[in-house]
Structures are given as C-alpha cells and as structure tokens.
Amino acid sequence: MLRTIERARRVADIDVALLIQGEPGTGKLILARTIHEASKRRDGPFLILDLATIAPGQVVEALYGTEDGQNHGPGLLAKAADGTLVLDSIGELPGDAQRALLGELGADEHCDARIMVLTDHNLVDDVRAGRFDLDLYYALAVGVLRIPALRDRPDDILLMTDHFFRQRGDATGSAPQLTEAARQAMRRQPWFGNVREVANVVQRLLLWSEGDSIGVDELLEVLDDARGPHAGEILERPLGEAFRIEEVLGEVESHYIQRALSRTGGNKARAATLLGMNNSTTLTNRMKRYGLS
C-alpha cells in the first residue's frame, strides 16, 4: 500500500488519465479524491459519473451534453473543466458504449478535465478476453494505481479500526475501546469487503456497545450478522483466464480457519475441533499454507 500511496503523490500534479483498480470497498474513490485535492486542480470541480447506474446509450450524452435544439446543455466534461471527472465502474461499460466513448475522446481536443477511471475488474484480463476495448484501455490507463485488498495488508486492519473509533470519539467526545483479544480477532479476519466492511462492523459495534470496552464475543456476534452477503461474492465470480479454483477454495478455507481461531481466542486445539480436523498439527500446517500467524 505504501508504494500505491507514493505513486499517487507522484502523479497528483501530472495531468494524465488515471486508472485506479481494486476490489469493492478498498477505497478507490477516496484515493481519487485525495489525488484531486493534492493536485493543481484542487480548486476545480470534482465530479463523478457511475457508469453502472446509467443506460449505455446515455454515456456520451452525459459526458458531452445535448445539442438537439430544444434540449441544450453542457455535459460533465465541460462542467469538470479545470477539475477532475471520475468515471466509476468503467469495467461495466458494454462494448458499443466503449467504442462510442473512445471515438468522442479521440475527437475532443479541447477537454480540460482530468479523467480518472475506477474499476474492480482487472482490465488487462478483460482486454485479453475481448470484454474491454484495447484502444480505450490505452487512452484511459496512462497512470495505473492498484489498491491491494485489506487481507493482503493485515497491518492496516487495526489502523483502519482505530481510525473509525477515533472518528466516533471526535464526534461524541468518547468511544468504547476494543479489548486486546478483540483487536487481535479483528486482525485475523479476512475482510472480503475491505475497508468498507471494517467501517460497517465498527459502526455496528458502536451502535450496540453498552460499556467502556468491547470484547471478542460482542465482535463475533456482529461479524456473524454482517457476513451473510459474502457467500455470493465467492460463488458468483466470473469464469475466465484469471479464475483459479485453487485460490477460491483457499480463500474459503482461510476464512473458516480465521473464524475458528477468533471464536476460540487463538486456541488451536479447540479451533481444530470446530473445523472437524483431527488435531492441531493439521491446523498449524494449513495456517502456514495461507500465511496465517
């Protein structure tokens, strides 16, 4: 993550199109706004168009406006002049809309908005699979920033947790604290929903907390309530060149190992029993396989 932050600092004042990639909930829009605010365009507008929420045939009109006599108005590119226009969910854009967007971008020599595009797709894989236009990729991905998943940077989990607790303290004057056991349980979670999921879990904890501290049992109750939707993320992943069944199965196994360890306070023998393993040695070997401490 430090490398991504350093690259974001370097590219802030370089007026090139930026592609920001990362799983849902990793903070792509936050990073885009941070880059805008650190750039020479900081006093200009910061506009967002979520391409997943409008009809494909309306993309060009939204960007360039209308000039049909009765309905005349500037598009977002004109409104974002001297500022930044963020195109979110670029990977969801159908082929026809991709080609139309490429044609308009190539024809427009007077665009004075910086364009940033966000996606949770791997656009290189999408290009190889024929799902994303290669020329549009080259036009939009001059600078590429990748935000790693939170589970790949475990040291940041508690930083994020402390940040959200501090926000509550700043707003209300006080906030309960996680016990050390609960903090370590937070660190062991896979956080498939990334920073957004951490924020949601902290909000739930603060909503129901009644004392000065929050323990492991309270945390696990909230996690059990919050984790329902993630089964779909595992089961509905797109098949293609980037799909690896071993990685998916590994994520599932790693998730349940961490969940069992959290529930047992790190007791490997009890966690192995919960997981249906013969002994803690088997669990230890699986933990080594997935880099779990």
Give the tens place of pLDDT for each residue, 205-264: 988 888 888 988 888 888 876 655 455 556 656 677 677 888 888 888 888 888 788 777
Contact between 2 and 153 (Cβ < 8 Å): no
| % of the chain residues with pLDDT over 70 | 90
Contact between 119 and 83 (Cβ < 8 Å): no
| % of the chain residues with pLDDT over 90 | 23
Q: Provide the pLDDT for residue 229.
A: 46
Closest to 62 measured CA to CA, from 44, 28, 43, 87 = 87
Average pLDDT, the chain: 84
Residues 135 and 168 in one domain: no
Residues 57 and 129 in one domain: yes
Task: Count helices and strands (H / E) in the chain.
Answer: 15, 9
Residues 143 and 228 in one domain: no
The answer on pLDDT for 74 being more than 90 is no
Q: Categorize the per-residue pLDDT at 67 as very low, low, confident or very high, splitting at 50, 70 and 90.
A: low
Q: Provide the pLDDT for residue 289.
A: 85
Residues 114 and 179 in one domain: no
Residues 131 and 207 in one domain: no
Q: Provide the pLDDT for residue 236.
A: 59
Domain boundary among the residues 148, 168, 194 is at 148
Domain boundary among the residues 148, 175, 198 is at 148
Residues 173 and 143 in one domain: no
- Laid out side by side, the sheet with 46-50 consists of 46-50, 84-88, 114-119, 18-21, 143-146
The answer on pLDDT for 127 being more than 70 is yes
The rounded radius of gyration (Å) of the Cα atoms in the chain is: 22
Domain that includes residue 214, residue range: 153-289
- Give the CATH number for residue 230: 1.10.8.60
Domain boundary among the residues 100, 119, 148 is at 148
Residues 185 and 269 in one domain: yes
